[in-house]
Amino acid sequence: MSNTIINSTKAQYLKDYQVPPFLVRNTELTFELNSGFTQVTAVVQYYKNGEHNLPLVLNGEHQKLISIQLNQQLLNENDYELEEDTLTFTPQVDEFELTIISQIDPANNTSLEGLYLSEGAYCTQCEAQGFRRITYFQDRPDVLSTFTTHIIADVKQYPYLLSNGNKISEHTLDNGLTQVTWQDPYKKPCYLFALVAGDFDLLTDSYTTNTGRKVALELFVDKGNLHRAEHAMASLKRAMAWDEERFSLAYDLDIYMIVAVDFFNMGAMENKGLNVFNSKCVLADSQSATDADYLSIESIVGHEYFHNWTGNRVTCRDWFQLSLKEGLTVFRDQEFSMDLGSRAVNRIQQAKIMREHQFAEDAGPMSHPIRPESVIEMNNFYTVTVYDKGAEVIRMLHSILGEEKFQQGMQLYIERHDGQAVTCDDFVSAMQDASGIDLSQFKLWYSQSGTPIVNIETHYNEAQSIYQIKITQGTPATADQPEKQALHIPINVAFYSEDGEPLALTLDGHTSNEQVINLTQTNQTFTFDCSKQPIVSFLRDFSAPVKLDYQYADDTLAQLILAETSAYTKWELMQTLYIQHLKLNVENAEYVYPTLITELLAELLSDTRLDKAMLAEVLKVPSFASLLEHFEQADVDAILRAQNALALHIAENLKTELTQVYQNNYRQTYQYNGEAIAERALANACLSILAELATDQIQALIVEQYQQSDNMTNTLASMSAAAKLKAQSSFSQIMEDFNQKWQGDALVMDKWFATFAKQDNDDILTRLDQLQQHPDFNWNNPNRVRALVGQFAMFNYPQFHHKSGRGYQYLAKVIKRLNSINPQVAARMITPLIQYKKLDQHRQNLIISELKKLAELPTLSKDLFEKISKSLPTS
C-alpha cells in the first residue's frame, strides 16, 4: 500500500517480444471512492491467444489483494502465485471470467501514476505502466479491450464522476452514494484508461464534424479558473477542424472531455474521450499567461486530440514502438501550429529542441534510436529522441514523398490498422505501398541512433559550366551502437547568384533554384549544369536532423542571409555567422567581433517585409546548450564569456536601432493575434539585448514596461530583463511586487520561481533554499519543482556549472529527495548531470562523484538506476 520503490533492474529487449498468451474481450471496473482506501473490482473476460499451456501473468503494484474469483468461484492462495509486482496462475479452460478485488491508496500516491489525488480530485495517469497500480491486469499496449466503468462516490463531494466513452447510467445508492457508469465502445489498451472524480468549474461547447456528428465538448478546470479555459476550448475546435481538412480524420464519439489538474507528471494524456491535462497546458488569459503559453496550449491541445487516430484508434504493439504514435503525432501538431501561425518561428523552435537537447541525448549515455532496442524503465522512453527526432523522421518522409503521397500513405495506414496495435514497420510499409517509393534504406532511421554529420565540398568548373557538390555522411559511434550505416538523408538546397537573385541549376534533367538532394551513400557527388558560379544554401528549413560541416566565408554568409527566401533559413544562416565568431572568441578572449554582424542585423531590422517574430529570434545569441555541440570538450567559462561579449557587442553597436525598433513595436494595449504576438516578441527581444547595457536609461525603460504592462508577456519580459541589471534594487522591487500580486496562484508563481532560478547570482543556492519555504512551493507538485530547481539546472549555466561543483551537488541533493517522492520526475531532472561528456575534466569528475553517491542509494528507483548506471564510467 505504500510507495516503496520496486527496483527490478532487469532490462527488456525489443528482440524478445512475444505475443500475449491471453487476450481480453471486455473489462468491467468498479471503483468505490472512499476517504481512506479505494476498492477496485475488476471483472475481465479472458481467452487464450492460440493453443498453449502458458500461465496468465498479471501486473500489479502498490495494492492489497482482497480476493480472486475464476468464473465466480473463489480461489485460495494455493491456486495462484502472488509476488511483489505480478500475480500468476494457470487456467485450465480456454475462456474464463476473472474477478479481482483489491485496495489502493490514492491519497498517498505521490508518484502520480495510476489513481491518485490532485488537490482533492481523483485522477489517473496510466501511460506507460500506471494501470498496474489500479488493478491486476496484463499491462501492455497490445492487449486491447472494451471497458465499462462504474464509479461509486459521494456526489456532493465529487459532483463529476468521469471515465472513457459515453455515460450510460447514473443512479443513487444507499448512504448518499451515487453510481455513474461509462462505456467505451472502442477497444483500447489499458494505458488509455482514465477516471476523474472531483468538483470543477465546467466550460461547455460543441462541434459538428463534416460527417454531421454533433460532439459535446466539456472542459473541466479548478474552481475559479473558468475564465482561463476559453483559449483551450477554442484551440480544441481549431484542431478538430484542421484534422478534418488536412488529414480527413473526424472525431468518432459524441463527447470529448478535457480535465485540467495541477499535479501531473507530463503535459497531458490522450485517454480515449477523456484527456487529462496538466493545468499549465490549459489555463490562460492575458494577465496570467504569456504568448508562448498561449501557443503551447494550442499545440498541446492539438497534440492530444490528434492522438485520437494516431495513438488511440491505431496504437503501439509494444513500448519500443512509442515513436509510432508520438513521433507521428508531434509532426501533426507541428504542422497544425505551422499552418495556423508563423511557419518560420515554429520551425526555429523545433530546430532548437533538436540542437539543444536531442543532439546532446544522442551524444550521451542514454543514446537510442527512435525505436529503442532495450530499456529497464519504460518511463525512460519518453525522450526528445522518441518524440522530436521521431517527428523529424516523419518530416523527412513527408519531404521525400510530398504532401499528396504522404496523405495517401496516412489513409492506407489508418484503413489497414484501425483498431490494432502495430509497429513502426507497419507505418513505413503503408507509406511505401501507397507511394510506390522504396523506403527500405530510409527505415534505418528507426533503428540507428546518433546524429549524422554531413560534410560538404563544392567545386565550380567554369569551362564545363558544371557545379559539383561532394557530400560525405558519417554517424559517430554512440553508447548503444558502435557501428553505423549510411542513411537516406534529404538535403534541401537553394542556389543564388552573387547579386542575390535566385539561380536555376539542372540536376538529372530537373531545373530549379530550389532542390532536394537525396543522399543515400557514404560518399556521393552531385553534378549540376549551370551558367555561372552559384552561392548555395544547404540544409534549408532543417530538412534533416544532422550536423552540417561546411565552412562559409563571412561575405558569402552575408550574401545568403540577405538573399534567402526562406525566413527560417535566414535565421539559420545568421546563427551560423554567430557561431563561427563565437568559436573564435572562445579560442581567444581578445577577439573582437566584426561590424559585419551588426550591419547585417541593422539591415534585417529595417526590412519591413520580414516576419517580426522571426527577427526576434535572429536577435537572440545562440544558447549555451547549442554551442556545446560545436566542441569536443568545452571550456564552459570561455563559452559564457563569448556569449556575453557578443550580446554586449550587439547592444553597444545597435543601441539606437534597437531602441527605435522597440518603440515602434511596443504596444500598451494588449491584443491576441499573430501581428500583435510578433510585435511583442520583437519589442521584448530588443529590450533583452538593451538590458546588457545596464544603463540608468535602460533600467528606467524596463521598470516602466513592468509598471505599464497589461499582459503577462510584457510583464515576464520586464522581469527577465531586470534580472540582468547590475542595480539589483529594481529587480528586487519588481519581484516583490509580482509576489504580492500573484501569491496564492501557484501556476503563475511558477514564472516567478523560474525567473529567480535563472538569475546569475552567487547567492542563488541560498535563494533556492529560501524559495522552497514559499507557501506556493510544494515538493509533491512536479510543476513547482521543475519551475524552481529544473530551471536552475537547465538554464542557469553560470551557476549550475560553477567550478566549485556546488550546482551539481545541489541538483544531486534534490534528486535524492525526489527519488522517494516521484521517481519519474527525478529521472527527468537528472539529465543535466548525465550529459557531462563535453565538459572539462574537472567538471566531469565533480559530476561523476555526485552520480556515484546517488548510485549507492539503497532505494534507488528503476528510473534513476538505468540513467545513472549508463552514465558512470565502466572502469
Burial 277-303 (b: 16+ CB within 10 A, else e): bbbbbbbbbbbbbbbebbbbbbbbbbb
Terminal-residue alpha carbon distance, the chain = 39
* Alpha-carbon gap, residue 197 to 12, rounded angstroms: 35
Q: Which of 695, 664, 629 is nearest to 359 (CA)?
A: 629
Please, what is the Cα angle at 554 between 550 and 557, to 5 degrees? 65
Beta strands in 714-792 (DSSP E): none
Q: Determine contact, residues 510/563, Cβ cutoff 8 Å.
A: no
Q: Determine contact, residues 558/570, Cβ cutoff 8 Å.
A: no
User: Quick one: three-class SS letters along 106-164?
Assistant: HHHCCCCCEEEEECCEEEEECCCCCHHHCCCECCCCCCEEEEEEEEEEECCCCCEEEEC
Cell numbers describing residue 656: 539606437
Residues 6+ apart with CB under 8 A from 235: 297, 298, 301, 302
Please state the separation of Cα 142 from the chain's center in Å.
24
* Alpha-carbon gap, residue 643 to 636, rounded angstroms: 11
Cell numbers describing residue 327: 513521433
Residues 6+ apart with CB under 8 A from 353: 384, 388
Report the amino acid identity of residue 753: F
Cell numbers describing residue 133: 497500480
Please, what is the Cα angle at 617 between 613 and 623, to 5 degrees? 155
**Strand 73-74 to strand 22-32: parallel, antiparallel, or no bridges (unpaired)?**
unpaired
Beta strands in 173-303 (DSSP E): 177-189, 195-198, 201-208, 214-221, 255-261, 268-269, 274-278
Name the active-site residue from 113, 304, 572, 850.
304
Alpha carbon distances (Å) from 547 to 363, 378, 451, 459, 473: 12, 29, 7, 21, 10
Cell numbers describing residue 432: 511505401
Alpha carbon distances (Å) from 461 to 380, 498, 510, 516, 656: 52, 16, 20, 22, 46
* Alpha-carbon gap, residue 251 to 540, rounded angstroms: 35
Q: Is 356 a catalytic residue?
A: no
Q: Determine contact, residues 147/176, Cβ cutoff 8 Å.
A: no
Hey, which residues are catalytic here? 304
